[in-house]
Amino acid sequence: MKTALVTGCSSGFGKGIVAGLLADGWTVIATMRAAGRRADLLSAEAETYGDRLLIRELDIVDASQRKALAVEFSHLDLLVNNAGFGVMGAIEDLSEEQLRRQFEVNFFGTVFLTREFLPALRVSKGKVLMISSILGRQSFPMSGAYCASKFALEGLSESLAYELSPHGVQVCLVEPGGFRTSMADNTVWGEKTADPASPYAVQNANMKRMREKMMSRPGVAPGAVVRLIVKLARKNKIPRRALVGKDAFGMNAFASLLPDRVVSFLYTRLYDKLLAKAPA
Ligand SMILES: NC(=O)c1ccc[n+]([C@@H]2O[C@H](COP(=O)([O-])OP(=O)(O)OC[C@H]3O[C@@H](n4cnc5c(N)ncnc54)[C@H](OP(=O)(O)O)[C@@H]3O)[C@@H](O)[C@H]2O)c1
C-alpha cells in the first residue's frame, strides 16, 4: 500500500488532496495544526476510508513535531508540501517578524520537514510535490514576502531535484494560479498597511479594493490542483515543474514569449495604473 503525507489539510488544496489521494487508493497521513480539536474537518473522509486515513498534528514550524512524524512513519512514498500562507503589503510596511514568519512557514518549515523524510523517500524512491505558485516565478507588487518565500522554495527545490535524481527521488514544483480556497481569509496584512500615513496608503487601499472585488466573484474551485496532484502521484516520471490554472499558463506565456525589458515595462505600466492612482 502506497503512503502519502500531506501538510496543511484543514482547508483548501490540502483537504482536497487528501480526499483525492484516498479515492485513488493511497494511505494518507493528513497533517494539520490543532488536529486534536479539528480532526472532524476530515470526518467524511474518515468515514469513507477508515484506517487508510491517519490524521496527525503538525505545525510545520515545530521541529519536535516534524521529527516525531518522521520517527512514527519510517516508510513514505509521497510527500506533498502544501501548508502555506500569504503576508501582503509593501515590503516597507511589514514588520521584520512578519517577513521572517512568512519564510518560517512557506520555506524553512517546508524544507526541514522534507529533510526529515528524505531517508524514507530515498528507500522508497518516492516523490516530493512542492506546492509553490506562479508567484514563485513572477513577482507581484504588495506581495513581495510571499513571492520571495515561493521563489526561495523554487530555487531550493531545483537543487534538491538534481541532488536526489541519482537516488531515484523525484521533486516537482506545482505552480497554481489563483484558486478559491481559504487563502484570502488566512492572509496577514503588513503591520503598517492600515496606517493612512504609510507612503503606500494609496497602493494598499487599491490592492485591498481589488482583492475585495475579486472575492465577490465566484472564483475557481481547487479541483484542477487536486486532479494534478493525484495524476503526479500516480505517474512513474514526473516533470520538474507543473503549472495549473489558466492564469498561471497565461502569465507564464506572457513572460516567456516577450523579452524581459518588455515584460517589466508592461507590468510596471499595468501596476502603476491599477495601484498607484488615488481613487477618484
Ligand atoms: N489558493 C491559491 O490561489 C494558491 C495559489 C498558488 C499557491 N497556493 C499555495 O497553496 C498552498 C495551500 O493554500 P490554499 O490555497 O489551500 O490555502 P488555505 O485554504 O488557506 O490552506 C492553507 C493550509 O496551510 C495550513 N498552514 C498554514 N500555516 C501552517 C503551519 N504553520 N503549519 C501547518 N499548516 C499550516 C493552513 O492551516 P490552518 O488552518 O491551521 O491555518 C491550511 O490548512 C499554500 O502553500 C499556498 O501558498 C495557493
Q: Which domain holds residue 247?
A: 3-276
CATH code of 183's domain: 3.40.50.720
Q: Which of 84, 95, 200 is nearest to 152 (CA)?
A: 84
Report yes or no on whether pTM surpasses 0.85. yes
**What is the residue-level pLDDT of the chain in tens, covering all 280 positions?**
899 999 999 999 999 999 999 999 999 999 999 999 999 999 999 999 999 999 999 999 999 999 999 999 999 999 999 999 999 999 999 999 999 999 999 999 999 999 999 999 999 999 999 999 999 999 999 999 999 999 999 999 999 999 999 999 999 999 999 999 999 999 999 999 999 999 999 999 999 999 999 999 989 999 999 999 999 999 999 999 999 999 999 999 999 999 999 999 999 999 999 999 887 6
* Residue with CA closest to ligand 1 atom 36: 8
Do 174 and 132 meet the contact criterion of CB atoms below 8 Å apart? yes
Q: Which of 88, 172, 60 is nearest to 126 (CA)?
A: 172
The question of whether 267 is a catalytic residue gets the answer: no
- Collect contacts of 235-240 with beta carbons under 8 A, ≥24 apart: 237/170, 238/127, 238/129, 238/170, 238/172, 239/172, 240/158, 240/161, 240/171, 240/172, 240/173
Give the ligand 1 atom nearest the CA of 181.
19
Instruction: In whole angstroms, give the CA distance from residue 126 to residue 103.
Output: 26
140 Cβ below 6 A of ligand 1: no
Total number of domains in the chain = 1
What does the DSSP 8-state code read for residue 41?
Answer: G
- Dist. CA 259 → ligand 1 center (Å): 33
Give the ligand 1 atom nearest the CA of 176.
6
Instruction: In whole angstroms, give the CA distance from residue 177 to residue 256.
Output: 16
136 Cβ below 6 A of ligand 1: no
